[in-house]
Amino acid sequence: MALKKAKKQINMITIKEAVSKKEMTDFVKFPFTLYKDNPNWIPPIISDELESFDKTKNPAFDHAEAYFYLAYKDGKIAGRVAAIINWSEVNDQDKKKVRFGWFDVINDIEVTKALLEKVYELGKKHNLKNVEGPMGFSNLDKVGVLTEGFDQIGTMITWYNLAYYVEHFEKLGFVKEKEFIESRFSFSDVSVEPFLKADELVRRRYGLRLLTFDSTKKLMPYVDQMFDLFNASYAKLSSFVAVSERQKEYFKKKYINFINPEYIMFVVDKDDNMVAFSIVMPSFSEALQKIKGKLFPFGFLHLLSAKRNSKEVLFYLIGISPDYQNKGVTAIIMRKYFDVFTDKGITNCIRTPELEENHAIHNLWKNFNPVIHKRRCTYIKDL
C-alpha cells in the first residue's frame, strides 16, 4: 500500500509560479532541454528573455500583468507558460481576454491541461470571456503556434514547436482564431525592372523621397516617427495594441542596434512627414544556434558576424500610411533594397508571420514568387 502511494506521488503533476531569479532562469532555459537535439529550434538569448520578463525593465508591464508558471512531473520540469492580461486591450478595445505565451511542454496532454488551468484562473478572476494564445505582451512579441513547417528552421522572432502542441490545444477545446503565413523567395528570382519606372513615377506624382542611412546614430532621430506610423498603419488589424512612448525607447535599445542601418528605410513627403517605413533584418538563426543563449564570452562575435555576413534576410516590418496605401509607395523601397541586397550578395529573403487577413501586405509580394513554407495560428477558448 505504501509503495502504491509513493508511486502515485512520483507521477503527480505540480504547478509552481516562477518568482525567484533561479525559477525565472529555469523558465527561460526549459526549451533548451526540450529542443536540445532539434535542428530547427532557435535558442533565445537568455539575458534578453530574462529582461523581457522583468517588471522593472519592460514597459509592457505599464499596461499588462503576467505570471510565469512551471510544471513539474517526476521531479523534473515538464512545461512552462506565461499568463498575461494586456489591460489596454481589455479596457480600451473591450476585448475581454486573457493571453498565454512562452508555452512549451513535453508530449503529455495532462501537463498542458494543468498549465492552462493557471491561465483560466487568471481570466476568471477578472471576469474575462476567453483565453487566446500563444502570444506575447504586444504586437512586437512572438506570436502563434506552428501548424505547418516543422521541418523548417525557425527565426529569432518566431516560436518553434512540434505538432503535438496543436493536438493538445484542439483536444482541450481550443479553436483557431488568427492565422499567419510565412513565406520565402530567392533573391535571384527578383527582377528590378518592375520597380524602376514605378519608383520614378510615384516619387514625382506624390512628391516623395527615400531616406537611407549608413549609421545607426543617423537613423535614431526618425525612429519615434516610425513607431507612430506603425501605430497608424496597423491600427485596424485585430488585437492591435499601440506602442506606447516608453515602449518606443525600449524597442529602440532592444532591436535597432541588431539591424544593419542600410536595411532600414523611410519614405517622407515634401513636408518631411513619414508615409512609409521598412525594416529588414539579417538572419541570426545559425549564429543563435551556435551561441546557445549566451552572449559572453564569444557569443556576441557570432552575432556581429551574422549581422555583417548573413546572405539571408528577414522582412521584419513594413508600414504604409493609410493615406498612401495602394499607391505604389513600396516600389521606392523595393528599388533601393534591390541595390543593397545585390551589393551584399543576398541569396534568400524570408517574410516573417503575416496575418492571413492582411491582404494589403500580401499584395506587396505578388511579383516575388513567394513560397509559403510555414503556417501558424493562435488558438482561442471560451472561459
Mean pLDDT of 65-85: 97
Same fold, 2-181 and 185-373: yes
| Contact criterion met (CB below 8 Å) for 184 and 370 | yes
What is the share, in percent, of the chain residues with pLDDT greater than 70? Answer: 96
Structure confidence by residue, pLDDT tens digits, 338-357: 999 999 999 999 998 988 88
Give the pLDDT of residue 192.
84
CATH number for the segment(s) 2-181: 3.40.630.30
Residue 66 has pLDDT above 80, yes or no: yes
CATH number for the segment(s) 185-373: 3.40.630.30
Q: What are phi and psi of 34, to 5 degrees?
A: -60, -40
More confident residue, 356 or 381: 381
Cell of 254: 532592444
Which segments of the chain does DSSP mark as H helices, in order? 2-10, 21-34, 46-52, 87, 109-125, 164-171, 193-206, 216-219, 223-234, 245-255, 285-291, 299-309, 330-344, 359-363
Give the pLDDT of residue 238.
66
Residue 365 has pLDDT above 80, yes or no: no
Mean pLDDT of the chain: 92
List the chain domain ranges: 2-181, 185-373
Give the pLDDT of residue 304.
94
Coil, helix or strand at residue 208: coil
More confident residue, 317 or 159: 159
Mean pLDDT of 248-266: 90
Residue 56 has pLDDT above 80, yes or no: yes
Structure confidence by residue, pLDDT tens digits, 97-138: 999 999 999 999 999 999 999 999 999 999 999 999 999 998
| Contact criterion met (CB below 8 Å) for 43 and 289 | yes
Cell of 64: 499588462
Give the pLDDT of residue 7.
38
Mean pLDDT of 148-152: 97
Q: Which of 140, 149, 147 is nearest to 183 (CA)?
A: 149
Inter-axis angle of helices 330-344 and 193-206, to 10 degrees?
140
Mean pLDDT of 357-372: 77
Q: What are phi and psi of 265, to 5 degrees?
A: -135, 145
Q: How many CA atoms lie within 13 A of 27 on its CB side?
A: 28
Mean pLDDT of 319-338: 92
Whole-model pTM? 0.92
Q: Which of 214, 203, 199, 161 is nearest to 374 (CA)?
A: 161
Q: DSSP readout, 217-273?
A: HHHGGGHHHHHHHHHHHHTTSTT--PPPHHHHHHHHHHHGGGS-GGGEEEEE-TT--
Mean pLDDT of 177-187: 93
Report the distance separating Cα 262 and Cα 152, nearest Å. 28
